[in-house]
A and B are shown apart, each in its own frame.
Chain A
Amino acid sequence: MYPVWEVPHLTAGMILGLIATFHMMPVYLSTSAMWFAIWLESRSVREGRPDLMDFVRRYARLVLIFSYVFGALSGVGIWFAATVAAPRAISGLIHNYVWGWATEWVFFLIEIAAIYVYYYTIDKVDAKTHLKIGGIFALASWTTMIVIVGILTFMLTPGRWPSTGAFFDGFFNETYWPQLLLRTTSMFAVGGAYVLAVAASGKNERVRVEVVRAGSVLGLAGIGLGGLSFLWYSSSLPDPIRSNLAALMTPGLRGGMIYPTALLALLFAIFAAKPGAARPWAGAAALALVFSGIWSFERTRELIRKPYVIPNYMYSNQIIGGDVPSKGVSSELDRINDKGILRLAAFVPDELRTVTDANRLRAGRMVALIECSACHSLQDKGLRPLPERIRRLGATGPDDVASVLDSLGGIPYMPPFAGTADEKRALAEYLLSISK
């Protein structure tokens, strides 16, 4: 176990969630934008319409700056945030999927070179070459999705990996194809929102009307096909995940996926019919709806993985709770229950390694930091605050709290308590103390 980063109220996991959701905005722009841009560019060449290139230039500039400044940085940011939220988990993923990420990196290199060359050579190279550069960007960008979906879905459904340990057995798991299709179709809905945002502020009326209409139709198609893909994706989820979904899906999250999508579809329908009415606010509204929908989807995806961060292997508090024989790794639970988490975790001050009357509350806090703080705030307010949870349970003494800790393993989305009886008691006393 590494040192813990306690983020008051929010938790480190929430910081990761915020950065990861933000990252989706430039990523979907990157993966979808160029298909639309090269379609429009080829129309411009075919029909002799240089006016269309004004939109292409502004759209490409948005991709360049938003995707390859803020997108690239937030992508690196996910790694930093994942590191400080759950270093053992990101380590476990990297030790298995390093070549997957390295493969994705090759396409990053191509993408970034291609978008710069595409943008800066508009009208400066022959049309065929320019379209080829655009095509290279579009293909490379979508390919990064092909790669990352394998790793993302592995974190939900690891396929045959636990028994074989083989890269592709985890990569091409049972939810890979549905999620790839879902993300591929949805990216066009997001791309449509960006088209709306850029085109609505265009000066040339004819171009504005044509592009807004085309972008809205693209967005509608993305939402329609995305909806169908979502049905396939939902039906591909294994039973334990479905029961998590039933238990953890709040009305807020469900509504957060349904209402923004429906409103976005409505916006697209309006502007497909009356493209001349589009104004910059419409683009901003569309992007806000996209962010809201992505936030709810990604939060749900994170939630339904519980109690694991890597299924059947590592719990969300980073304790290894399952065997992976192919990699020679076994569960840590028995050893921790026997020797104690305070004794085995690396970053515990010596004077807290054994629970004594003099250090009970401090030792209890140490256990809470290691085992609870990844998902729960230890403050009164914030994300799943433990003081409030304990109060809600009506616990009046440490025995009540200890029996709740005993029952954790029976709750489908909670990791079991890991540690000795003394540590459990110390944790119970600490939790009680902060709930008063």
Chain B
Amino acid sequence: MDTPALIKTLQDPMGIPFFPVVFQALMVLTFSLHILLVNATVGAAALAVYGRLAGGEFWTKLAGSMAKAVTMSVSALIVLGVAPLLFVQVIYDPFWYASNMLSAAWAIGFLLIMMAAFSASYAAVARGDKPGAALFGALALALFLAAGALMHVFSYQALQPERWMSWYSRAAGVDASGTTLHSFSLARYLHFIIPGLAVGGVFLMLRSWYLEPRADADRTALDRAARIGSGLAFWATAAETVAGVWWLMILPDGLRFWRNPTFIASAALGFALLGHFARVHFFTEKPQRSALASASAIILVVLAMSSAREALRMAYLARFEYSPLAQRVTLDWGSTALFFGTFALGLVVLAYVLATAFQSGRVAGRYEAGPRMQAWGRVAVGLLIAWIVVVAGLGVAVTLRNHGV
């Protein structure tokens, strides 16, 4: 069976309920948010370990808040990771499933490693500034990096369908143990890991910007943290440029990816980001004043990079006559409306919760919500109740129509 035929055999026969380009766009968007949080976690975890090792009042305090930030960003990255994990299975099902099956034991191992990493990161917080915090923090960081390596392997194996059968076959039949990891690219892995330090740097700048207006803020410490952040952002982005070039050089010859417009655009934005960080770090007095612009810029670049990687994935798989956009579509307007309606409603509710967090964290004492925030809260609760009523009503109507009383 040749590779294109093998892929066709594997593809789900059901088709998909909406236009594939929509799933692709959602996959790229949600993956970008996920990887930003992954980056933030790696960056914060590295800063927490460094801070514990460096000691002194400034670093001890910063390490404590970085360790706490790790636990929150891991929770968020897991939930944000659910969406791209879902959408990849819709438009790249043969690749994702085959890759996972070939290293199946590690798919379960990934889960256990993440649980251990999460536990270690909580242990690091619980230790506070007592001995052992650095050790737990380092353990958490090492385990996060290992989990990232596994995700990299699953994604990378998925791009090499021509090698799947040779990985699976053995002289006596097949290797169904799923205990082997078959393919790893250091350049590609580094491309995902190094930005952790850049995002960690931006996170430090944002933190200083956010805490500065508080009455009890230590402005000297915030200035210093922001400066460390801008330095990290610049140097890590420079290193990322080197890793990116390395990765580009080892891509399969036939792809000619350096000519791809999405790559050119994302590379241009990447260099612009490097220039921006150079300006902020070397020529700006208070880097935290550029925190919002820096965060916006890095989000934009991550989005562009994710789009470029998606173009690269399409180029890889086009060699095997596969296109994620060539799916059989059986339109299901009802469930599509359910998702987009819920998404819109969800953003209003989520924004309320985050706005409350934002505002309450900026005051030193107890936060009292003003009339606008109170009204927004009532709307948020009302929207959730309305969702339940509408869906329950729909359910009752469908049940009565299909199954009687």
Contact = CB atoms under 8 A, between A and B. Distances in A.
Contacts of A84: 100-101, 104, 107-108, 178
A73 B118 contact: yes
Interface string A1-36: 111111000001001000100000000000000000
Contacts of B110: 80
A108 B336 contact: no
Nearest to B340: A99
B377 A5 contact: no
Contact of A76 (B85, B97, B384, B395): B85
Interface string A151-193: 0000000011000011111011110110000000000000000
Contact of B165 (A12, A107, A327, A349): A349
A1 B403 CA distance: 35
Contacts of B14: 92, 95-96, 324, 327, 329
Interface in B373-395: 373-374, 377-378, 380-381, 384-385, 387-388, 391-392, 394-395
A369 B175 CA distance: 11
Interface string B229-242: 00000000000000
Nearest to A78: B111
Interface stretch (B53-61, B274-282, B297-305, B362-370): B362-370
Interface string A53-97: 000000000000100111011111101110110011011101111
A132 B381 contact: yes
A120 B361 CA distance: 10
Nearest to A140: B384
Contacts of B83: 102, 105
Given A12-B104, A94-B86, A100-B335, A72 B79 contact: yes
B210 interface: no
A349 B174 CA distance: 7
A91 B89 contact: yes
B12 interface: yes
Interface in A88-147: 88, 90-92, 94-103, 105-110, 112-114, 116-117, 120-121, 123-126, 128-129, 132-133, 135-136, 139-140, 143, 146
- Secondary structure of the A side of the interface? helix
Interface in B83-113: 83, 85-87, 89-90, 93, 96-98, 100-102, 104-105, 107-108, 110-111
Contacts of A123: 366
Contacts of B338: 99-100, 103, 167
A165 B176 CA distance: 34
A114 to B, nearest CB: 5
Nearest to B111: A77
Contact of A83 (B79, B100, B176): B100
B79 A112 contact: yes
B78 A73 contact: yes
B188 to A, nearest CB: 21
A365 interface: yes
Given A80-B107, A166-B332, A346 B10 contact: yes
Interface size classification for chain A: 35 or more
Given A116-B357, A139-B385, A166-B332, A3 B101 contact: yes
Contacts of A390: none
Interface in A206-235: none
A184 to B, nearest CB: 12
Interface residues of B, number: 99
B16 to A, nearest CB: 6
A4 B399 contact: no
B244 interface: no
A126 B342 CA distance: 28
Nearest to B76: A112
Contacts of B354: 113, 117
Interface in A353-411: 362, 365-366, 369, 373
Interface string B1-34: 1000010011011111110000100100000000
Interface in A222-255: none
B75 interface: yes
28 contacts: A3-B104, A3-B164, A3-B168, A4-B101, A15-B108, A70-B115, A73-B78, A74-B111, A80-B100, A83-B107, A84-B101, A87-B101, A88-B12, A94-B86, A105-B82, A107-B342, A108-B79, A109-B346, A112-B79, A123-B366, A129-B356, A133-B356, A167-B334, A168-B398, A169-B402, A324-B14, A347-B174, A348-B174
Instruction: Sort A-B residue pairs by CB-CB distance and give the 5 closest, nearest first.
Output: A5-B104, A167-B335, A106-B346, A87-B97, A99-B335
Given A73-B78, A167-B17, A352-B173, 6 more contacts: A106-B346, A117-B353, A327-B13, A344-B9, A349-B168, A349-B174
Interface of B: 1, 6, 9-10, 12-18, 23, 26, 71-72, 74-76, 78-83, 85-87, 89-90, 93, 96-98, 100-102, 104-105, 107-108, 110-111, 114-115, 118-119, 122, 164-165, 168-169, 172-174, 176-178, 328, 330, 332, 334-336, 338-339, 342-343, 345-346, 349-350, 352-354, 356-357, 360, 366-369, 373-374, 377-378, 380-381, 384-385, 387-388, 391-392, 394-395, 398-399, 402-403
